[in-house]
Amino acid sequence: MKKVFTSAAAAITDINDGATLLLGGFGLCGIPENCIAALVNKRPVNLTCISNNAGVDDFGIGLMLQQKQVKKMIASYVGENAEFERQLLSGELEVELIPQGTLATRCMAAGYGMPAIFTPAGVGTEVAIGKEVRVFNNKAYLLEYAFDADFALVKAWKGDTDGNLVFRQTARNFNPLMAMAGKITIAEVEELLPAGSLNPDHIHTPGIYVHRIFQGVNYQKRIEQRTVNKPDE
Amino acid sequence: MLNKNQIAQRLAQELKDGYYVNLGIGIPTLVANYIPAGIKVVLQSENGLLGMGPFPMDGDEDADLINAGKQTITTVPGSAFFDSAMSFGMIRAGKVDLTILGAMEVSELGDIANWKIPGKMVKGMGGAMDLVASAKNIMVAMMHTNPKGESKLLPACTLPLTGVNCVKKVVTELAVLDIVNGSFKLLERAPGVSVDEIKAKTAGKLIVEGDIPEMLF
């Protein structure tokens, strides 16, 4: 078993034009910064990106949008990004907006080997158009399919050489779900440890779901909305 | 007429001891400032936290600890983190007792529209569709009319829907109303606001029974 890669560039070397990617994170919290930087460098195009958000103009998926690498974005919320808006309005970028819980559960389904799930989110709205509706116990649900993605790019706090992952605080978000959902899952970690260093009881994502892992570098961990209390308040 | 903080203060009176509560962005967020003394309420943030605390002190902010509005926050004793599927799992399973969110329009049937204005940039529904489709008790905090002075309490929503038949209560700067049997039922008036003004600004079916008391704070 050799899962450890020396760099982001080495780990993403076979992500090519037209690939479908799952990218972890919520806003800029817990995003795979190193993988994104490597993709910006390698420049594959016509990518389909599935992620809760689309980054901001100069960070996260926004960096790939600047280079027009993204053909289609599947997300639940895409504000805070002027270039995204420009490409959407000009028709260069295809966007599919889906409810956040639906996004999470479609990842979960893929990782659990289930082809589809039923959710009430979007019943009676335009999200339901063209979808199968089933009624259980007098409540209507939409059939939503598991994602089928080539690669999942996730970011964890700690990981070990067997691919086991531990996340930190709300940087967990979509990361463990997407890690389970990728055909090939690439994990970048703030701290890469020898197998056996992590307490087996504390592992969030077992290494079976992680195909490649590398020690990330130069994390910016940007804050989108810095909100604080001042001492005199 | 209430200001936004007073709308939040009135909504906080709906909180009960032991409630797990999800607060949306805007006025609903302010409800956290008015949790009545002596009760414990656990705030859920759908990006993966139960037990959301106040903003951190200047210098203590942590990029890994944010709320669903992407603001830096803190935990409280008893907090728990989880992934996004579990977060919406607990919402879908009805474990969250109360959801308070903002709206552009609410209909007399309890339909809500709050995510999209045709012709304007669409940012997405985020978690709103999941919340309104599943939460047991959904309350809306919003202004009674839009900036053009048109009622936001309508016979039917004109904007794209977020969810149907889901809103139970609406608190505006003018009134507290329940949605029952396809009507807005007027429960309370804001101090100094007349029933006639509320009638004039409510386009949906409005039920007014007996004397309508002023809100108490």
Is A101 in contact with B71 (Cβ distance < 8 A)?
no
Closest residue, chain B, to A141 (C-alpha): B133
* DSSP-derived secondary structure letter, B154: E
* DSSP-derived secondary structure letter, A21: E
Predicted TM-score (pTM) of this structure:
0.96
Query: Which tens digit of pLDDT belongs to each residue from B123-171?
Result: 899 999 999 999 889 999 999 999 999 999 999 999 999 999 999 999 9
Is A224 in contact with B66 (Cβ distance < 8 A)?
yes
Nearest to A85 among B57, B111, B121 (CB): B121
Chain A CB within 8 Å of residue B58 CB = yes
Domain that holds residue A32: 8-116+148-215
Total number of domains in chain B: 1
Provide the token pair at B14: 């709906």
Residue A232, pLDDT above cutoff 70:
no
Report the pLDDT averaged over residues B99-115: 97
Domain that holds residue B69: 4-207
Sign of the CA dihedral A30, A103, B83, B47?
Answer: positive
Chain A CB within 8 Å of residue B85 CB = yes
Report the pLDDT averaged over residues A191-215: 98
Chain B CB within 8 Å of residue A59 CB = no
Query: Could you identify the residue written with the tokens 């489709």?
Result: B133
Residue A230 falls inside a structural domain = no
A18: CATH: 3.40.1080.10
Query: Which tens digit of pLDDT belongs to each residue from A35-71?
Result: 999 999 999 999 999 999 999 999 999 999 999 999 9
Report the pLDDT averaged over residues A109-119: 98
Nearest to B122 among A29, A97, A104 (CB): A97
Residue B136 falls inside a structural domain = yes
Q: How far apart are CA A154 and CA B47, in angstroms?
A: 16
Total number of domains in chain A: 1
Q: How far apart are CA A179 and CA A181, in angstroms?
A: 6
Residue of B70, B81, B157 to mutate for A, most A C-beta atoms under 10 A: B70
Which strand (E) or helix (H) includes residue A49?
Answer: strand A47-50
ipTM score of the complex?
A: 0.96
Chain A CB within 8 Å of residue B93 CB = no
B23: CATH: 3.40.1080.10
Query: Which tens digit of pLDDT belongs to each residue from B52-91?
Result: 999 999 999 999 999 999 999 999 999 999 999 999 999 9
- pLDDT given for residue A206 in this prediction: 98
Chain A CB within 8 Å of residue B72 CB = yes
Phi, psi of A189 (to 5 degrees): -130, 150
Nearest to B175, CA basis, from B206, B150, B154: B206
Residue B143 falls inside a structural domain = yes
Report the pLDDT averaged over residues A19-29: 98
List the 131-160 stretch of A: residues with Cβ below 8 A of B. Answer: 157
The residue among B120 and B112 whose pLDDT is bigger is B112
| CA angle in degrees (0–180, nearest 5) for A154-A77-B60 | 65
How far is Cα of residue B3 from the mean position of the Cα atoms in its chain? 15
Residue A143 falls inside a structural domain = no
Report the pLDDT averaged over residues A130-137: 98
Residue A76, pLDDT above cutoff 80:
yes
Chain B CB within 8 Å of residue A89 CB = yes
- pLDDT given for residue A82 in this prediction: 87
Residue B215 falls inside a structural domain = no
Nearest to A29 among B54, B64, B160 (CB): B64
Can you give the length of chain B in residues? 217
Can you give the length of chain A in residues? 233
Report the pLDDT averaged over residues A21-33: 98
Nearest to B129 among A127, A168, A176 (CB): A127
B46 is known as an active-site residue: yes
Contact call for residues A187 and A171 (beta carbons, < 8 A): no
Closest residue, chain B, to A89 (C-alpha): B121
CB-based contacts of A106, cutoff 8 Å, min separation 6 = A98, A117, A144, A145, A146, A147
Residue A129 falls inside a structural domain = no
Chain B CB within 8 Å of residue A104 CB = yes
Query: Could you identify the residue written with the tokens 């930190």?
Result: A168
